[in-house]
Amino acid sequence: MGIGIKGRWFTEPDTNRTLLFRGVNLSPNTKLPVGIPSHKRESFWVDYDRHVTFVGRPFPLSDADEHLQRLVNLGFNLLRFIVTWEAIEHEGPGIYDEDYLDYVVQVLKKCEEYRLQVYIDPHQDTWSRHCGGSGHPGWTLALAGLNPLHFPQTNAAIVHNLYSPPENFPKMIWNTNYNKLAAATLFTLFYAGRTYAPKCIVNGVNIQDYLQDHYLSSLTQLAKRIHDNHLEDTVVIGYDTMNEPGKGYLSVPNLSEISKDDVDFKKGLTPTAFQGMLLGAGFEAQVGFWELKWNGPRKTKDVWVKPDMTAWMTDQEVKEAYATFRWERDFNIWPAGCVWATHGVWDPSHQDLLRPDYFVKHPKTGQPTHYNDFWTDHLLAYERAIRHIHENAILFVQPPVLEAPPKLPANLNRVVYAPHWYDGLTLIKKKWCNYNVDYINLSRGKYGSGPLRFLRALRVGEKAIRQCFVDQLETIRKESIEIVGDYPCVIGEIGIPYDMEKSTTTTLSHVSSFWYWILSLLGSSNTDTLTDSQNAIGSPQSDQNKAFDANINALEKNLLNFTLWNYMPDNSAEWGDLWNGEDLSIFQSSDNNKSTDDASVITKQTNSFVKSPYADVSVAVTNDTIISSTDSLQGLLQQYQQESNVRNLISLHRPHPYLTAGYPLNINFVSPTEKICASFEYSFEYKSTTHGPTEIYVPSCYFPVTAVATDDTELTSRITVSVGTWQAASIHNQYWILLWSIEEDQDITEVKITIEGITVI
């Protein structure tokens, strides 16, 4: 039967309890074939990248128990499981990697052993690895006639594999590729080729149909394997729509202009759509260079870009590619070269833009068109393809990142809204600042118009920043109900960069914070510095810990389901997530971190926690009971010090209500410091029609069941409930499950539990 859906809540059908998901993305290394991280040129674009393998992504099967047990220990009960079209169909159209499909099934069976539920994420970023992102096969670029090796010179995409030197790849620059020639062309062809590229006929069908049919067929190959191995509903509860889809050129009002919206992402060289077409055809152009300031992107200069080649394949290269993949096309109708010149959008002979509004009107009828219409058509085709196999699949729907959602067709059911949200300032600057901006509400028009709206959206100081995050996610949650419909909401991606610059400020008052911000804008760095121990990632005062706690607090305050970005089994101390300089993994093995400084961080961090001993017991208790024990922790501290995760943040360990005998009302977690005890409060509306107790995951490090310190000091947790009784069950070294039973035969408007723990020692 699978997971139930009741309004904004997931439910457990047999008991009618509310299910709240705390999940993680597994894993960003699935974006990349084995042996080709984004910073290496070797083996990139060799024979159209047909002969690659993704078997072993996210981890070798022999390592599955280690990683999945770690995720269970951390309290995760949902995985956003990343797959790519390239991983399934890289060798050529209709040729599926059977070894990879078999491998995925084996990993999913392992997930079943650990009672982890999964939704499949068909992942892409800016179309493909060859466009500086990930996701779709290399042959799709050959189909359109593009040559990835010429993208850097023509600014058709910025690609880490082709960037020299790779360690100087600009921070978070890859996102600009969505609006550059390569990705913009492919997304336009994928969603609207029939409308805007009718001459692009391959093997008798339009390129839109050819691309979409193969994309859907590759994913249904996986869905069939999941179905045949009885993994539906018990493990795989549904399917995400395409990750962070691009708009291409659709809805661009004028191809010769950059968006005037000053909250749109712009960084580095940012050509207009027409400039991108000129550069792609080998013509020079003067392109704006943009930088991200506190008040949005600003153009700082113009740069002449003079390519000495084109981004398009030659006639001979196109014919060789088409012979390789057994494609047929009429070169008299669709010649090699720029697709958009072929369709009369611009004139290469005079370098003139002929139809600046080409992509906002139907070329034949002249009627206005919008990206959402094309996206919705594909969404419905995707839904039919998946549910033809997995009838009960939940559809996790996401629009382009950070945009307001479109209205979904009324006939869609079992839908979940699954947008992404990041604290963009911290993500791009890789720094935890003393100020931030209420970006979502700014972009939705809450602060009016004109430059003063940035000041209205500005938040200064830690308390204001934390509330700013709560407000932004509240807006997303309300949009989910008001626009998408009365469905659950899962934040499909949220996370922090771990490779932050070391903090250079002490804890400041609001006034001091404001003046530090002013000084920082002026370039001053005359501030006090934090100590090394405060900067250590395992410290309660570390910037990573502050940022992470602020993000998760915002999710909890809004009672949102989520899947963190990300868990990366082979995250590297030098190269992060091995993709475009990103480094957001909550896990990094000490084996991948060889520097002396990092080793000292591990020691500081792991000595900060106390583990509870393993005990297979269930202790029946009543209200206001203090749990304590005289059991020794000798040997267990030593075991904990061998924990390999360098990134065991203080605030990563927090209680979470898995199942609730009613509807959640409020979650409040206070992360511990050297002086403040960990505490957790949870309240919900009790429903007498539910069956079974409320089940809460509790991390042992701050809320021990039975433990004493090595100096014989008792470590205790105080638990109080407003009604009913509770007991501790499934007690492990790293966590235990609290079962809270209420036997009332009538509904109760609000019931509450409080768990008080220990400080970081």
Model pTM score:
0.91
Residue 243 C-alpha from the chain's centroid: 9
Structure tokens at 259: 């968006």
Strands 735-741 and 725-729: antiparallel
Sheet holding 725-729, edge to edge: 4-6, 9-12, 17-19, 656-660, 694-699, 735-741, 725-729, 619-621
Which of these CATH numbers, 3.40.605.10, 3.20.20.80, 3.30.300.30, 3.90.1300.10, describes 20-148+183-246+370-432+465-605?
3.20.20.80
Give the per-residue pLDDT at 524.
34
pLDDT the model gives residue 533: 53
- Where are any strands of DSSP class E within 177-219? 201-202, 205-206
DSSP 361: B
Rounded distance, CA 674 to CA 315, Å? 68
Instruction: Give SS3 for 237.
Output: strand
| C-beta separation of 188 from 338 below 8 A | no
Give 659-686 pLDDT, tens digit per residue.
999 999 999 999 998 888 999 999 999 9
Classify domain 609-756 at the CATH class level.
mainly beta
Low-confidence ranges of the chain (pLDDT < 70): 1, 503-535, 592-643, 706-716, 760-761
Specify whether the CB–CB gap between 527 and 516 falls below 8 A.
Answer: yes
236, 298, 400, 562, 629 from 244: Cα distances, Å: 21, 24, 5, 16, 50
CA dihedral 260, 266, 267, 272 (to 10 degrees): -70
**What's residue 691's pLDDT?**
97
- pLDDT at residue 522 in the model: 33
Closest CA to 568 of 585, 584, 581, 583: 585
For residue 429, give the H/E element and its range. helix 424-429
Residue 595's alpha-carbon distances to 39, 260, 590, 608, in angstroms, are: 21, 46, 10, 21
**pLDDT value for 621:** 36
**Can you give the residue ranges of every domain in the chain?**
20-148+183-246+370-432+465-605, 609-756
Strands 22-26 and 205-206: unpaired
Task: Please identify every residue annotated as catalytic.
Answer: 244, 493
3-state secondary structure of 572: strand
- H or E element in which residue 139 lies: helix 139-144
pLDDT at 611: 26
Is residue 22 within 8 A of residue 78, CB to CB? The reply is yes
| Local structure of 225: helix, strand or coil | helix
Instruction: Tell me which residue of 698, 733, 544 sits closest to 69, measured CA to CA.
Output: 733
Contact 569, 29 (CB under 8 A): yes
DSSP classification of residue 169: P
Dihedral sign of CA atoms 60, 65, 69, 70 in order: negative
